[in-house]
Each structure stands twice: as structure tokens, then as C-alpha cells.
A and B are shown apart, each in its own frame.
Chain A
Amino acid sequence: MLQLQALSKIFAPDIAAIADVSLEVGPGEIVAVVGSSGCGKTTLLRLVAGLDAPTRGAVSLDGEAIHAPHPAIGVVFQEPRLLPWLSVAQNVGFGLMDRSSAERHDRVDAALLRVGLAGYGQRWPRELSGGQAQRVSILRALVTEPKVLLMDEPFSALDALTRASLHDHLLGLWEAQRPTLVLVTHDVEEAVVLADRAVVMQPRPGRIFADIPLDLPRPRDRLSPAFIEAKRVILAALDGSLDAPIARQSAKHATGAWW
């Protein structure tokens, strides 16, 4: 169980990136964190990953407090961030340096095979397309078999077709290991394709606006009425999340600083 307890992150006085976010994600659950840009999604993910420290609140995984990057938590960034001086296989095996080279070899080969990149192991990252590179970066995070995989808008830089195929790859990988998956996205369709639950965030300061269960059968049909209805519900929540703070801000302007 991944638990976020009243997380707040304040960057500078009066600039709260997120405020009082509490969330529980069960083992093997897929949660999509949805919100407009600047609502603190990425900040939230970095706190959970242990890459940044929260100003207040705590993150714990199965009761263990997370203060720093943890072996049971894998991270996939928005860009592939492959190391250009390592081959594709060496990139995938980057987190396996403490294992025997035979085990590393086997795991890396199996992983590449699973996402259709068998035979690409000895290539350099610069020879890969954007979608291929992001697949390698997902493998790099998953090959150590973490309990939790955090993904920060991992498909936002890809075209729609590549994105759809990566959704399938990701679900295939998830099926094999069943990690808890927290995915930050601003793509509502992506949330409905992948997630068991969509958490809609509200900006300034970032906090949770709505928690929407997505009980659709898998594999999900993007054209089914239930799918479209789920998208509509999330979009409505997003609209609602944007209305509140803007109204309050303009009210402040009206009463406060006109002179």
C-alpha cells in the first residue's frame, strides 16, 4: 500500500506547489493523476519518488517511510533520459549492476523481447525513435521489479499512434509484474485507457479535486459508451477544478490591489 499523508510542498514563501494531498493506492492498482499544467502533478510524483522532500506530510510504502529514492519505487520521466554512452541493453540493465552478469543478461533480453525490441540491445540510444526510447526507459525502471512504478507524463511527447501502442505495451508489462502504477498525465483518454482510478487535481495550490473510479472491463474499447462517459466525467471534473481558484483569485484582485 502506497500512502501519501497530508503532503505539502512550498517552494518559496506563498508559493505552495501542492497542499495537503492525501492518497492511498493499493497494491497493483493503476492510478492516473490528471490535471491542467501547473497543478503540481509532477511535484507530487517527485515527492513520492523521494527525489524531493515534502515541506510537510509523509509518504510511506507498506508502512516504510520514503525519504529518498527507494529500490521498490521505479521512476519513468517525461523524457526517456537514456544514458547516451550505454547501449540499449546496458541502459535497460542500469539498475541491475549488483546482480550477476548472467542474470542481468537474461532479464534484459527477456524485457527487450517483451516490448518488441529484441535485437536492439547492442544499438546506441541515438539510433532509437522516440517511442522506442521511451519503451527502453520503461524497461529500465521495471527490470528491477519495483513494487511501485511512477510515471511522469511518459507519453506526452509522442504522436497519437505511438502513444496508443505504448499504452498496450505498458499494460502488457503491468500484467506480467502487477506493480502499483501511478501515472501523471494531462491526457484524459490516456487516463481512461489505463487507470483503475483517476485523481483529478486542482491548481494553486495543487490539491485533489476529485477521485473518480473507472470500473470498465479490460481491454478497454475507446469507442464504447462507458469509455466515452468516463471521459466526460473526468473532463467535467477538470472544468470544475479550474473554475474554483480562478474565481477566488479575481475576487482577491478586486478587493486587494486596485490602487
Chain B
Amino acid sequence: MKAPPRSFLNNRLAVGLILPVGAALLYEFAARLGLVEARLLPPPSRVGQTLWSLAATGELWTHIAATMLRLAAGFLIGSIVGILLGALTGASRTASRLLDPTVQALRAIPSLAWVPLFILWLGIFVASKVALIAVGVFFPVYLGVMAAITNIDRKIVEVGRAFRLPPLALTRRVLLPAILPDGAVALRSGLGLGFMFVVAAEIMGASEGLGFLLVDGQQLGKPDQILAAIFVFAVLGKICDGALVAAFRPLLRWQDSFAQSVSRSAAAPIASPPVPAH
């Protein structure tokens, strides 16, 4: 394939960085010129310094590890339960009538309302935090998977029937690929909620974790530490979401976006897209 002419605007990473880097630079200058109150909203250089010293002492990595571990455990539990229950209610009308009203009622409860109960039941340490994160992750995954299954095109499923696929093969060769796109979106929204609830859990009370850095910064009047933690959250969130997208990409190449298919057919009208051999 011929490489398109390389211009700055074609580099997605560079274009995406224009806005945040530009804003940071602008603020830095404004702070140095004394145009803004730097004590409450410290300039990027001070935030960077704080971040650097946290990293140098190794303290930052302890906090990141604590947060990511809680998030991973909560995400795993929440998404597995969400996938299983969503699959059940999506596939069986009886299960849907039996379970879905209750799940929807539970969903109507603001998840933070569970916090006191979880602390009473599970203590103030890791278990109650993981439980809260799992609850946050569960609902979007459950809803997404259920919708993905009820939205499967029955005409495509009938092709599987016409070829006499037994239930297991039908699931593997038709149903799973059909729900994969919506399933991936469901997991991504679950992960987003997971980040939200890990912060909530850590603000409620923790001695380590990025959420603890936030509270600690507030109590000790260190806005640079709060901003540093927020920055780390942004980076970690983007990395985790990107990893999830990358993990699904090989399975979803068939539905490449419209723009990509246009540019490919323009660049190489005859060349075939890479596909595993049949």
C-alpha cells in the first residue's frame, strides 16, 4: 500500500495533543507572568515537579499499584458477573422476566448508597472497595451484553440453523462473533465506571492509592498533589481503555470504520485485506 503524504495533521497522536499541551503552555506562561493565582491552581511545571518527586521516592508506584489492583479485581468480578447474567437474560425470556426487573430496580439505586452497608459487611479494607467497584462495573456490562444478545440478527442465526450447527458450534461460530462489537463497548463503559468507583472508594477512606493522594492533597492544602493524581488518572484511564480496544481489535477488524475502508479501497483496489486463511 502506498503511504499517504505525511503531514502533521495526519498524525493522530500529534493532533490529539494540540489542545492539552497548548492549554498547559498557556497556563504556564500566565502563572509565570503573575496573571493567575498560582497558589490554588499551580502551573504545570509545579505539578510536574510534585509528580517527579512522588515517583522518585517510589511512593507514586505504591499508590498506582494499590489503585490498579483494586480496579482490576473489581472490574474482573463485575464484568464476569455482568456477562453471565446479561447472557442469561438476553438468551432466555424466562430468565429475563424473572431477573431483569430486580436488576433494573437495583440499578436505580445510586451505587454509592451501598458504601455504608459494604463497610459494615466487609470492613474498611480492600473487600468493601472491590465490592463497590464491582457493582459499578456490573450494570453497564450487564445492560450492554443483554442488549447485544437480544439484538442479534435472527436471519443470520437461521443460516447457522440451515447448516445444522449444534448449539455449541452455533454459539462459537455465530452468536459470539455477533455480540462481540456491542460486548466490547459494554466492557469499555464498565471500565470507565470502574475508574469512577475506585476513586469514590478510595476517597471514602484509604491509606494508599491515587484516591488517597487526592484526599491527602485536600487536607494538607497541596493542590499540586491533587492535580498530579488527576493527571495520573487521565493517563491510566486512557492506557487501560486503549489496551481494551487493542485486545478486541483483531476480532473486530471485519467492521473497520467506513473511513478506513474507503481509504483502503482507494489506495489498493485489488489488494486483499489480511484475513486468517480459511
Contacts and interface: CB of A to CB of B under 8 A. Distances in A.
Contacts of A123: 272-273
Contacts of A126: 254-255, 261
Interface in A55-94: 68-71, 74-75, 77, 79, 81, 83-87, 89-90, 93-94
A105 B278 contact: yes
Contacts of B155: 77, 79, 81
Interface SS of B by simple majority = helix
Contact of B164 (A71, A83, A119): A71
Interface residues of A, number: 34
Interface residues of B, number: 25
Nearest to B275: A87
Contact of A90 (B159, B161, B278): B278
Contacts of B169: 97
A122 B161 contact: no
B156 A81 contact: yes
A86 B254 CA distance: 8
B170 to A, nearest CB: 12
Contact of B254 (A51, A75, A84): A84
A108 interface: yes
Given A83-B174, A105-B278, A127-B261, A122 B273 contact: yes
B162 A108 contact: no
B242 interface: no
Contacts of B261: 126-127
A214 B161 CA distance: 34
B102 to A, nearest CB: 34
Q: 9 shortest A-B CB distances, which residue pairs?
A: A122-B272, A87-B275, A90-B278, A85-B177, A89-B278, A85-B254, A95-B163, A75-B162, A122-B275
Nearest to B254: A85
A93 B276 CA distance: 13
Given A126-B261, A127-B261, A127-B265, A121 B278 contact: yes
Interface in A100-131: 101, 104-105, 108, 119-124, 126-127
A79 B265 CA distance: 24
Contact of A124 (B161, B164, B273): B273
Interface in B220-278: 254-255, 261, 265, 270, 272-275, 277-278
Given A69-B161, A75-B162, A124-B254, A83 B278 contact: no
Contacts of A49: 162
A173 B173 CA distance: 27
A230 to B, nearest CB: 32
B278 A68 contact: no
Contacts, number: 71
B159 A83 contact: yes
Interface string B151-184: 0000110110111100001000110011010000
Contact of B278 (A51, A70, A104, A119): A104
Nearest to A84: B254
Considering residues B169, B273, B277, which has the most beta carbons from chain A within 10 angstroms of its beta carbon? B277
Contact of A69 (B164, B173, B174, B275): B164
B167 to A, nearest CB: 14
A5 B81 CA distance: 50
B17 to A, nearest CB: 33
Contacts of B174: 83
Contacts of A108: 278
Interface string A181-223: 0000000000000000000000000000000000000000000
B69 to A, nearest CB: 35
A95 B278 CA distance: 12
Given A122-B274, A123-B273, 12 more contacts: A51-B158, A75-B162, A77-B155, A81-B158, A83-B177, A84-B255, A85-B255, A89-B278, A90-B278, A93-B278, A101-B277, A127-B265
27 contacts: A51-B162, A68-B164, A69-B161, A69-B162, A69-B163, A69-B164, A71-B164, A77-B159, A81-B158, A83-B159, A83-B174, A85-B178, A85-B254, A86-B254, A86-B278, A87-B278, A90-B275, A90-B278, A94-B163, A101-B277, A104-B278, A121-B278, A122-B274, A124-B275, A126-B254, A126-B261, A127-B261
Contacts of A75: 162
